[in-house]
Amino acid sequence: MAYTLKSVTLRTNNSTEGIERIENLWKDIANAKLPILFDSEGQFQPGISPISIYSNYEDETRGMYDLTIEGVHADFFAEMEQKVAAGKYVKFDVANDDLGVATKLAWQNVWTGNLNRAFTQDYESTVPGEYTSDGKAHCYLYIAINK
């Protein structure tokens, strides 16, 4: 009987070793070692998009945090757009030919911006260019803010 995981959580930080652990976790998901996008028998699960959830911040700008990778359905993004419209989150959408560059640029917007971050739960969704209408890779960040 096949099974899937809804999410997996890693306690990490932004050190070189922490980033390496994050990269390895994503590789395990992409290679179906952790059955979030694929079930335990290697079958792709249609309609599931992977997102990163950043939470449980030890310190607002440095230190440990939880990174949860979760498989969500399209209604997740509609709910996040409602939270942006309500002023609970700020959305960043950065496009680039390279997914890694798009992600770095999106986070630079957060780190260098003048946001009143809540440091509760932040969300990231990256989409390779082959899955977008403009052919560019996108990084979408939803950053929780204090009102």
- pLDDT score of 131: 86
> Tokens 């959408």 correspond to what residue?
93
What is the arithmetic mean of pLDDT over 109-135? 92
7-144 CATH:
3.20.80.10
Whether the Cβ atoms of residue 77 and residue 99 lie closer than 8 Å to each other: no
Q: Residues of the chain with pLDDT > 90: what percent?
A: 83
Using DSSP, state whether 62 is helix, strand or coil.
coil
Both structure tokens of 52: 């990163």
Structural domain boundaries of the chain?
7-144
Considering the entire predicted model, what is its pTM?
0.92
Q: Does the pLDDT value for residue 118 go beyond 80?
A: yes
What is the arithmetic mean of pLDDT over 22-43? 92
Is residue 110 within a helix (H) or strand (E), and if so which, with residue range?
helix 99-112
